[in-house]
Structure 1
């Protein structure tokens, strides 16, 4: 039987923008309804023939296809919706990457209808895209090559179909919005994020740059805990658009079936699939985005304030209460307060002992960013300026201005640029936060009013957020390109950069800040869109000039006895480039985030276990309550940790996969078989992640790990080079390819003590690794990739 409650019209339907306006009378129930694409025609014909054969061989099985729907003169979505609400199982063909079918798949699962995914294994049209998507891997597939094979397999598959996710979730009022980012950061996406930030709504985000594959379990959790879902779709000509837009179609279907308010925004005039085209908005100019989003945001606020929201209060099994948190610190800012681990590196940052925090992607830089911010955010004696610019916002400036002027002039322009940004943003932060407190002191209020008048009148920028103001300043600088190119003096450059009398802003700001005990400037995400190991000289100059601007600002404020601390958070590969381009390498103290101690990882996980379960036992007692203690003769925590890249994000991701597998199997604790299944999914995610990073580094190396499919996990140097050349890499760049694989941690080496060693243990000093190696050194494939590549133990 279909889930209880879905055979009545829903209280909210995105198509109707309110209560469903359809009649559900006389909708014939079915055991299974089959959905497939009309192209390729031979596959569609095979599926139709399989259904015909079933009607003869299994007459009691009520099975229909989408061609049986009464579509003439009707809204197609409404007929699809009804058919799914009155069927026990949805059979959906996923042979090709069809957006309609991805939407229908998400919609069926959102209703709670089990899905049987079928695919013709002889068709390889979109195999790579499905592998990159990874969203439906956990569903499993019914494979076929002809109609008879499909007809013979479907009855058992339909009879045994189950929901892949059974956990119930409660919509969150604290973070009611879920936002699906695109892998390309377009002006439209920037406006979407800016509009949401200005609305005041708290939100969670899926960012494919941080997490290349969205799992089915995570999609369920994020959508089912949301009141609203925003999906941004890319123009079809953009790189990665097919995979991203398929993910967007699935999430939109899942959200609409779950009763969420859904905002789908398409970049450009692309024609949308018929199932959901009527709910898609389009923009040709980023300036249109705030207007298009306004009704959606207004509706969300009304939803939050309405009484229609009824939380789910189903009792949770103990394992279901265990929540390790989100892999992205941005999505758990409030939750971090309850389980944030104050490491020695965090304490150094909070004490202002460094100007740079450096770590691998996923090593916890953003968590420290929010930790330091939270430590001083609520204090009226401190002013905290937290900025999260993204490198792409400087792309236009870099391409259209910096490339055409001398290196010395570039540095002057960028330092003046950053100095202006920091002063204006500090003033804007004071105007935004201090009105109530400043009004209690006449002298302070007079300075406050001066600051407000000095920064007002910016038009669009005054109403925008930091991203808007940054882009506006970039546009202003570009308008003066010809004048800048003809100048040689830094003073003249400053006058062209500064829109306002910056000396007056600086003077009033310095006087106002005497009412504060200190200023904190925290800058994260600057290198977010820069390829790993691919930062250019101009990119590094952007950071160098930022560091110089913060030093200049510190000197200016300290002359007025105002203590100012600035911390910039960057990736380790960018830091290596920065050191190479910086003459005075000892000028800035640096905190390196280095996760090598298993005990610290245990503390990290233990805090999250206690926060979610409200249990206070030691880790050694809590772990076996939820996880089988030993796997393959090794402690299960050590087994899991050793298969990660030794980053908090990776460990959290693996553990979440373990919980999802165990809960979906109905287990009361995570068993060895659950961990091994989770390892397969985690390994696939890691492989897709390294594909993206290798592609950014050098396109020829994008799929290089495939050279090691079925390989022994231990190899000598000659075997590695043979596999690399056998994959088609020219001999001239084989050494470069091997070093790239070492740098990313795909390959490591066996040390003289017999232990596996990887680049992160050498602070990514690959040359130091190579100097330690001898002709007899054995090299090893990282355990994170062995499962998906089928590497043999030796």
Structure 2
């Protein structure tokens, strides 16, 4: 790693507002574009021939930054604003809640919503639709091209049905499709729906025979022909695009799936349906739909999915796992520091070791700091910004200041880790509390003794209500039927989960090195963890968990 240094007899004095950017890409315009590091993931996501549709990774890894660069560097780009889709209308529908209460899989209906929105958005992009005249022109071109093809009748009829309402907003589109399902279900099952609305827990009172009969009737309605028609529309658009030898490329971007854009009752079902349906858009060779999806959100989707066909491995080809190396993060930091100081302080180039002392103890300063990150831009930017804030009025960030900053940084990162994974693993808050101050290395046997594990499961039983967290499920199993094996299984599951979220590394065998989820294998199943396995708490959390460096 090259370490450039500035020769200058006039030392710089660090100002109170010195920082190398915002840790959130949405609020980082000042640094993001001028200091963008050309990460290899960008060229993959830009490539319309690549099957990688999902920019996947931890929070702070740079997914939003990549989508913003795609938007900036291409002409034909549309970003879907999830709040414009009015999907809370769907979540709050009495009919949809009734169908959910019957445990009917609404995946096909949700795929229909996504495909409809994305098909219309592609037509807007493809024909540069800006007003009613260009809208009429777009549809007339499609109808004219396929006018003599009887095989395209269903697809053309679908487009004709929506042509006159092409200008209504996305939320009105969503409501109209939902209302069609609502009206059909209500006409068929109105008496049962009224009972459901008037009596809490009605679905639980149904006999298995009655519920089975209702499910069969409702399935016929929900699994309508609309999704089949949309598949034909995609074929039609694909064939239309194929007639042009030199067509342009188009991008539809979807971000912020981790935010509160829809009620949690259906959010993960909708994300699952989006993952399912996007494969079909590969038919449109000049269109690329790119979705930013956090690892913890995908984990929750998998936990919530009762659909047997939804398996992580089945979709691996469509996910681009974003990772950074130490060298890449070094280049990013150098760019940002130089940009900051040339803009506010000096016309000369200024780099990391012009403002940081070279060592923290016996270790290189940048190496010391990067070891306390999960190799994410957000981590190192945050750490450096805290150092700069504590050094105002000084001309150098001392090693004492780095250690002082580490305490605040460690607490922030542990809180961020819990916030990131809380929806999937709420039990980690209990785990962190119990391992605090106990030392940084464990074996399963070290924590599967009664004193620790019983306190752990009792705390979970008292404080955690989750039906999806596998640790909570395991804890309840132990309380139902206490046994040494279940104690050990709980410890193994805890190790597996702490590894998964990045809280530490695993040494699976005495002759193997420690591995970490953020840079090695992302998931280690509990069954792979033996009594010889060692868990090492990540240095990023040492200060927050009161762990000695040499414990």
Distance 1:443 1:541, change over 3 A: closer
CA distance in structure 2 between the partners assigned to 1:688 and 1:776 by the alignment: 30
Gaps of 5+ in 2: 1-11, 145-158, 189-216, 459-474, 479-489
1:498-513 to structure 2, matched below 5 A, reads none
The answer for the alignment partner of 2:290 in structure 1 is 567
Q: Does 1:687 align with 2:414?
A: yes
Is the deviation greater in 352-361 or in 393-402?
Answer: 393-402
Deviations 1:450-485 (A, max 9, x none): 9999667689x53xxx5x457645763664343696
Deviation of 1:787 (Å): 0.7
Deviations 1:417-466 (A, max 9, x none): 11211123334557887569979xx9779869x9999667689x53xxx5
CA contact (8 A) 2:505 2:517 kept: yes
Deviation of 1:601 (Å): 1.1
CA distance in structure 2 between the partners assigned to 1:636 and 1:607 by the alignment: 17
1:321-340 to structure 2, matched below 5 A, reads 323-333=19-29, 335-340=31-36
Write 1 or 2 for the structure with the bigger share of strand: 1
| 2:373 paired residue among 631, 638, 644 | 644
CA contact (8 A) 1:321 1:612 kept: no
The answer for the alignment partner of 2:435 in structure 1 is 708
The answer for the alignment partner of 2:330 in structure 1 is 602
Write 1 or 2 for the structure with the bigger share of helix: 2
The answer for the alignment partner of 2:100 in structure 1 is 403
Q: Does 1:414 align with 2:110?
A: yes
Distance 1:482 1:606, change over 3 A: farther
CA contact (8 A) 1:692 1:702 kept: no
Please state whether the residue corresponding to 1:361 is helix, strand or coil: coil
The answer for the alignment partner of 1:744 in structure 2 is 501
CA distance in structure 2 between the partners assigned to 1:399 and 1:698 by the alignment: 27
CA distance in structure 1 between the partners assigned to 2:356 and 2:17 by the alignment: 14
Deviation of 1:320 (Å): 6.0
Please state whether the residue corresponding to 2:351 is helix, strand or coil: helix
Distance 1:567 1:454, change over 3 A: same
CA distance in structure 1 between the partners assigned to 2:386 and 2:334 by the alignment: 17
The answer for the alignment partner of 1:356 in structure 2 is 54
| 1:524 paired residue among 247, 255, 266 | 255
Deviation of 1:742 (Å): 2.4
| 1:762 paired residue among 517, 520, 538 | 520
Alignment size in residue pairs:
446
CA contact (8 A) 2:515 2:521 kept: no
Deviation of 1:603 (Å): 1.5
CA contact (8 A) 1:523 1:567 kept: yes
Deviations 1:700-750 (A, max 9, x none): 543321112222223333333347426432562444333322222223235
CA distance in structure 2 between the partners assigned to 1:760 and 1:787 by the alignment: 20
CA contact (8 A) 2:445 2:531 kept: no
Give the CA RMSD over aligned residues: 4.7
1:51-450 to structure 2, matched below 5 A, reads 317=13, 323-333=19-29, 335-352=31-48, 353=50, 354-376=52-74, 379=75, 383-389=76-82, 393=88, 395-396=91-92, 400=97, 403-404=100-101, 410-428=106-124, 434=130
CA distance in structure 2 between the partners assigned to 1:679 and 1:658 by the alignment: 8
CA contact (8 A) 1:333 1:370 kept: no
CA distance in structure 1 between the partners assigned to 2:530 and 2:222 by the alignment: 53
Please state whether the residue corresponding to 1:787 is helix, strand or coil: coil
Deviations 1:386-427 (A, max 9, x none): 2253798575479626525676x6333222211211123334
CA distance in structure 2 between the partners assigned to 1:685 and 1:470 by the alignment: 42
The answer for the alignment partner of 1:785 in structure 2 is 541
Deviations 1:544-598 (A, max 9, x none): 533454444453x56xxxx222223323345563897149826843321123x21
CA contact (8 A) 1:623 1:629 kept: no
CA distance in structure 1 between the partners assigned to 2:133 and 2:341 by the alignment: 40
| 2:391 paired residue among 656, 662, 666 | 662
Is the deviation greater in 340-349 or in 429-438?
Answer: 429-438
CA contact (8 A) 2:54 2:318 kept: yes
CA distance in structure 2 between the partners assigned to 1:651 and 1:580 by the alignment: 39
Distance 1:318 1:341, change over 3 A: same
Please state whether the residue corresponding to 1:789 is helix, strand or coil: coil
CA contact (8 A) 2:55 2:319 kept: yes
Distance 1:476 1:658, change over 3 A: farther
1:532-551 to structure 2, matched below 5 A, reads 542-551=270-279
The answer for the alignment partner of 2:484 in structure 1 is none
CA distance in structure 1 between the partners assigned to 2:326 and 2:281 by the alignment: 40
CA distance in structure 1 between the partners assigned to 2:425 and 2:445 by the alignment: 23
Please state whether the residue corresponding to 1:697 is helix, strand or coil: coil
Deviation of 1:492 (Å): 4.2
Please state whether the residue corresponding to 1:594 is helix, strand or coil: coil
Distance 1:586 1:704, change over 3 A: closer
Please state whether the residue corresponding to 1:749 is helix, strand or coil: strand
Gaps of 5+ in 1: 1-315
Q: Does 1:592 align with 2:349?
A: no
Q: Does 1:476 align with 2:179?
A: yes
CA distance in structure 1 between the partners assigned to 2:316 and 2:402 by the alignment: 47
CA distance in structure 2 between the partners assigned to 1:400 and 1:707 by the alignment: 39
The answer for the alignment partner of 2:453 in structure 1 is 725
Task: Give the alignment's TM-score, normalised by structure 1.
Answer: 0.48
CA distance in structure 1 between the partners assigned to 2:97 and 2:28 by the alignment: 37
Flag the structure with more relative contact order, 1 or 2, with Cα contacts below 8 A and sequence separation at least 6: 2
Deviation of 1:783 (Å): 1.2
Distance 1:603 1:508, change over 3 A: closer
CA distance in structure 2 between the partners assigned to 1:413 and 1:452 by the alignment: 21
| 2:399 paired residue among 651, 656, 672 | 672
